[in-house]
Structure formats: structure tokens, C-alpha cells
Amino acid sequence: MSEIRLRNAILTSIKRTWWLVGALLVVMSGFRLLFTIQFAHPEIWRDFLGSLPVAFAFGALHDLRILLLFALPPTFSLMWMRDRDRQRWKSWLRRTSTYWFLGTSVIVIALASEQIYYSYFGSRFNILAFGAIEDDIGAVLLSAWQTYPLLLYLLVGLILEYIVLRIIRRAFHFTDFLHASTQPEAEQVDLALNRHIVAHSMLAVVLCSLPLTPIFVSLDQEVPQTAFVRTIPENGVEKLAETLWTRISENSLSTARRYGFDLDAQAAIEQFTQGHSAANQGPLLQRLPVQAMTPTPHVERPPHVVLVVMESFATHLLQYQSPNFDLLGPAQPFFEQGALFERFLPTDNISIGSILGIILDLPYRPGTKHLSQSEQRHKSFATSSAKLFADQGYDTAFFYGGPANWRNLDQFLPLQGFQEEVGMEEILEQYHLDPQTDAGPWGLWDEHLFRAIADRLEHAEKPLFLVAFTTTNHPPHHLPASWSLPALRPPDRLLARTGPLDETQKAQLETYRYAAHQLGNWLQELQQTGLIQHCVIGVTGDHTAGIGIPFAHQEILLERAVPFLLWMPEAIRHQFQPNVLLPGSHKDIVPTLFHAAGLGPNRYRGLGSSLLDKNATHIGFNSSGLLLLEDGAIKIHEEGYDPMRWIGDSLELEPTHHPIGAAAALRYYQAALSLADWMVYEDSLPAKGN
């Protein structure tokens, strides 16, 4: 009888393995359904409903691939469990049940965490996930605690874990494994085990060999797809694994290698400049041609140049600006009178990526470590915007509302030519402020930062290039106790998309309004003192932030867009006729400010283009793979790209099969990122690589 029961344990193990795989497949599909219901724009249910069954079917294949790989160790271990005694089986059951419990817990936690991640970043797990670890971890945890109902999440998680534990224990109960109502023959058990191992292994190999995403994308004609539809088959476990692999596998010129430019930097330069490189040897920056920057404005004296980077300053909320929903307040006249570029993208979708992209005048290379925290953090970069202006006789400064050592900037910025690096500690001391009442988790209230900027400009003895980064419009969306304005009344067209606003959404809108008002108050102060007529001012956002708005496919720009406002003194402004429909991104800010300040004749070289120069190449791009062109846009995916065209003068796009210059724009983008990669590693590579 003992032998019969032990043989039965093999058969029971096989059944339980497939039962657990099936159960987890249902659970993972349930998370996918929840994801779709929570984040899909209504157009998905209206126009792409027929694509959902196929998307879910491919999603099940993605899930099954993960589950089969996870279940392989228990399956292979059965080969050693033939003819084992009771004690060995008891030990195997304990270890296997622990393995399944821990693995199932990781899967469930990853899937649940990705839902929260997507609600904030608008994307599946990617390299941005490292931001929470590398950022101010204390502020991250406090923001999460005060923004999300973490206690509720924890309670739900513990309940789920308990249910999983009970199910796994029941599945691997000792007496069930050894109970046999009929007597299995030894040959029957061996045959069943051999079939199980072969079937499990072959199925895992086949699914791992199949390029599931490319196959799904190739069905576009029969199964209409949008960027969101393509995300449906993905799962959090795979995306987390890809993210970890991206970080681990990063090395010198990994970006250039991805696009085939890792053997010769000159090839990237030739592609980027369309064969108009200034030289074929020497420092990479000097091989780029000098940009014409036409027209050349006449400037009596060099103006101050100030760039304000506003935390989470999204373009899509500006679409609802009105007297009855006044987000901008005193900033409104400046947005009306200045040149407001709205077909504009941040270089990255996390603060430090965008800040470094601006101050180094380099586009962010997707998936790479941020330079101030990488092995290159001790390097001085020739492309630095501070060096560019310092060479023209400017003093240079960086003002930040948070701690000066955020992301190692206190050590990194001086190497890049910033003569002053002012953080919250210095401003607190300068104005005798109390960090308990005059600051939030991420830094000073914006009003104090703008006060410090105004004072620095007032006492400037030389032309000043100043970059400032605000902090208040950030989770957990706290505001100073003194802030008090009548509550906003969201327009019906906003509520139609969000539904009734919850407290977090209301707080998001209020901190956005507060930040915009403080910007407006500062601009008004400069206007009253007359100082604004001696300043070229740029205003942009570091990245966008959603408030629970699902975006349609034609709104793919608004999902990522930040504005770029360019304010020029009257004496300079009348010399330009800006085309605000030109596309751009953060890489174009520094050359635009350089041009507006009348410094163009002093020879600018870089990877961006002035938005005031109508004859330059204008292509904006973001690390998500969205490229903006003058006639449309392209969204890059694994199998190529989706071409789109502008709908009139709006910020919306529609699919097209005949984009103008899309292929050339893609090569330009790949060459630009490859060239940025070469510039990062230029001094540490063998001479033959250049």
C-alpha cells in the first residue's frame, strides 16, 4: 500500500502543477482586465472592442510563458522523486509549497504594483521604476504614504497572501498526495511523468522562442491597434524583468549599439547632420556644424537668461484654462503675450532625466542611468549649457527648491560650469524660514524659491544664466497654510473624462494652480521693477502628470506634453515672428534661449535647434519613443513605428499611411541618441572608436 501511494504522489504532483498554472493564468488575466477597465479611454470599447479578445489571448500567452518557466524547477525535480520514501516526499512537499507560495506572491505583488505605477507614470514598468530607489527615498515614502491608501493596500495584500497560502497548502497537502483510490502501475506513472516533462519543457521552449509582441503587432490590419491596445498583452512580471535586464546590461555605447552606430561616431554625425559635419575628427562637439540661428536679433546688451522648470507642469491641463477655471492666475497674460510652444515634449518622464537633459544640453538616452548618479558623475561635459553661457561672459546658477544634494547635483553641477548651486538649505537660512511650515516633503514652497530668484536677478552685476526647478506641484500635493483661494470649479468637459474628482485629484489641481500663480507673481514683480525688459525667460515642465484622465489615441501628444513658454523683452520680441506650431523638446530649449539672447553669432553647436529659426530641422522627441515632426508624429514600437499627422492646428494627431519624412526622422532620432551616447563616453573610449 505504501508503494501505491508513493506512486500516486507523482501523478498528483503533475495534476497540481497544471491546476496551479491554470489558476494563476486566470488571476493574471483578471489583473489584465482590471488594467483595461481602469486605464482604457472610452474609444477602446467603442472602436477597438473587436481587438480586445485577440489582445487578451496574446496576453494569456505572455502569462503562460512566465508561469511555465516558473513551474519548470518543480517539474524537473519530479525526476528525482521516483521511488522516494515518505520522508523524502514530506520534505519535497514542504519545499515545493514554499516555492509556489513565494513565487505566486511575487507575481501578484508585481501585477498589483504595476497598476499603481501605471496610474502615475502612464506606462508599464520601465527604467523609471529605479527612480524611487535612487531619489530621495524618505520623500518618496512620505509622498506615497500621504497620497495612496497604503494601509488599505497592505490590508488587502495581507488578505490575498493569506488566501494564496491556504490554497498552496491545500494543493500540497501530504495526505492528499499519498491517497490513492486505484492502484497506478509503475509503467503508467513513468509514462505520465515523461509526457509531463516533455510537454512542459517543449511548451516553455516554444513560447519563449515565439516573438509574441511582433506577431501581435503584425496583425494590425486584421486587429486594429493603438498604443494602449499594444500594452494590454504585456504583464508586470515580464516588464519588471526587462527593466532589471536593461539596467544590468547597460554599458559603454549600449544605446549607440542598439542603433548600429557603435563602431564609428562619425557615422552618427553624418546621419544626424545629413552629411554636413564640420569635421571628421577631433572632439565630437566640434564636428557638429555651427547653427545659423536666423534671423539674428540686434541686442543692445546681453540680457539675463532664466529658465524655470516647473514640477509636473502638464500641457493637457492648460486646455481647460478659462476665467471660470483659472489655473494660471497672474501668469495668464504672460502665456498670452509670450511664444507658447505646445507641440513640445520633455526629454524624459522623470524629473532628474529632464533636468540633466536641459543642463547638459543632451537628450536622455532611454534606459540608461542618470549621469549624476552613474560612473560618469565625475566627468565634465563639453555640451553643458552653463559652459555655453559662461563662455559669453555670463554668471551661471542653478536654484532648486529641494535639498542641494538631490541626485548628487551639489557635486555634479560645479563640474558642469555652474558657479552657484543654491538649494533649500541656503534659502531657508537666507530668509530665516522654518522647514516645518515653509516647506513640504520635497522642498520649499515655490513662493520662497521665486523670491530667491528675484533677489538674485536684482543684485546681478553681470548677465546671468539661471536654471530653476520648483518642487511644490508634487505628491503628496501639500500647500502652505497661508494659501487660500476660492475652490476651483472644474468644467463639465473635464469632469466628463475624470468623473467626480476625488480628494487626490482636487489636490493635484490645487498644487498646479498654486505653482502657476507663484510663477505669475514672480513675472509680475519683474514687470513692476522693469527687470523683465532685461530678461529672456523660458518656462517648461519636467514631465507631465495625469489626474486620472485616459487619453485617446489622437491625444498621444497630450499624454506626454509639457509647454515651453518663451518670454522676450519688447526690444527683442519684435525682431521675431515665432511659429508656435513648430515641434520641439527639451533639447531645443538651450539653443532657443541662446538665439533669443542674441548670442547666435557666437557659434552654437549642439544636438538641439532654436525654435526661433524656421530654417532649422525641428523634431522633438521623448524617451517613450514619441517623435514630433512638423507635419505629424511617429510612435516607435518594437516592430517599427506608427505614423500620424496633425489634425489642423490642434494638438491632436490621426493615423496616416503616408507620413512626410517619417523614415528620415527616425534615423535622425537614432543618430541623435547614438551621438549623445558617444559624447557621454568620449573621454573613456579608445581613440580608434572616434
Q: How does DSSP classify residue 442? A: S
C-alpha to C-alpha distances, 689 to 249, 267, 272, 678, nearest whole angstrom: 20, 11, 18, 9
Mean per-residue pLDDT for 337-341?
A: 97
Q: Determine the 3-state secondary structure of 644 from DSSP.
A: strand
Does 129 have pLDDT greater than 70? no
pLDDT given for residue 122 in this prediction = 80
- Phi, psi for 207 (deg, rounded to 5): -65, -35
- Dump pLDDT digits (tens) for 497-545: 888 998 889 999 999 999 999 999 999 999 999 999 999 999 999 999 8
Q: Cα–Cα distance between 454 and 518 in angstroms, integer?
A: 12
* pLDDT on residue 94: 87
Q: Could you tell me the pLDDT band of residue 546, with boundaries at 50, 70 and 90?
A: confident
Q: Is the peptide bond before 303 cis (omega within 30 degrees of 0)?
A: no
Please determine, for residue 330, whether its predicted confidence score (pLDDT) is greater than 90.
yes
Rg (CA), the chain: 29
Euclidean distance between CA atoms 256 and 580, whole angstroms? 32
SS (H, E, C) 15-69: HHHHHHHHHHHHHHHHHHHHHHHHHCCHHHHHHCHHHHHHHHHHHHHHHHHHHHH
Question: What pLDDT digit, counting tens, does each position of 239-263 carry?
Answer: 989 888 888 888 899 999 999 999 9
pLDDT at 345: 98
> Which pLDDT score is estimated for 364?
96
C-alpha cell at 650: 490642434
Which sequence spans correspond to the domains of the chain?
Answer: 2-248, 304-618
Return the pLDDT at 268. 96
> Would you say residue 193 has pLDDT above 50?
yes
Interval 93-126: pLDDT, tens:
889 989 999 999 999 889 988 888 888 778 887 7
| H/E segment holding residue 436 | none
Cell numbers linked to 419: 558657479
Q: What is the pTM of this model?
A: 0.91
pLDDT of residue 640: 85
Q: d(Cα 605, Cα 465) in Å, to the nearest integer? A: 18
Average pLDDT of span 316-327: 95
Q: Are the beta carbons of 349 and 593 closer than 8 angstroms?
A: no
pLDDT at 3 over 60: no
Residue that wins the pLDDT comparison between 363 and 686: 363
pLDDT of residue 177: 66
What pLDDT does residue 690 have? Answer: 53
**pLDDT for residue 398:** 98
- Enumerate residues 6+ apart whose C-beta is below 8 A from 302: 392, 393, 394, 463, 597, 598, 599
Q: How far apart are CA 540 and CA 343, in angstroms?
A: 12
What pLDDT score does 7 carry? 64
Domain 304-618, CATH 3.30.70.20 — does that match?
A: no
User: 567: part of which helix (H) or strand (E)?
Assistant: strand 564-567
Contact 457, 466 (CB under 8 A): yes
pLDDT tens for each residue of 572-626: 999 999 999 999 999 999 999 999 999 999 999 999 999 999 999 999 999 999 9
Chain centre to alpha carbon of residue 588: 19
d(CA 261, CA 269): 10
Q: Is the pLDDT of residue 473 over 50?
A: yes
Pairing verdict, β 535-541 and 339-341? unpaired
- The whole-number average pLDDT for the span 56-63 is 97
Taking 70 as the threshold, does the pLDDT of residue 175 lie above it? no
For residue 640, list its beta bridge partners: 637
Range with the largest mean pLDDT of 223-232, 271-280, 526-535, 631-640: 526-535
- Is residue 687's pLDDT more than 60? no
pLDDT at 187: 82
At 141, is the pLDDT very low, low, confident or very high (cuts 50, 70, 90)?
A: low
- Determine the pLDDT at residue 4: 43
Please enumerate in sequence order all residues whose Cβ is within 8 A of that of 152, keeping only pairs 6 or more positions apart, or say none: none
C-alpha closest to that of 528 among 388, 362, 377, 330: 330
In this prediction, residue 223 has a pLDDT band, given cuts at 50, 70 and 90, of very high
Would you state the pLDDT for residue 689? 46
Cis peptide before 346 (omega within 30 of 0): no
- pLDDT tens profile 630-662: 999 999 987 789 999 999 999 999 998 766 788
Cell numbers placing 156: 488587502
Residue 2: which pLDDT band, with cuts at 50, 70 and 90?
A: very low
For residue 317, what pLDDT band results from cuts at 50, 70 and 90? very high
In this prediction, residue 651 carries a pLDDT of 96
Through-space distance between the first and last CA atoms of the chain, rounded to whole angstroms: 76
Q: Using one digit for the tens of pLDDT, what is the confidence trace for 39-52?
A: 999 999 999 999 99
Asked whether the predicted pLDDT for residue 27 surpasses 50, the reply is yes
Of 10-24, 302-316, 350-364, 518-532, the least confident: 10-24
Q: By 3-state DSSP, what share of the chain in percent is helix, strand and coil, each rounded to 5? A: 55, 10, 35
Q: pLDDT exceeding 90 applies to what percent of the chain?
A: 72
Higher pLDDT, 172 or 642: 642
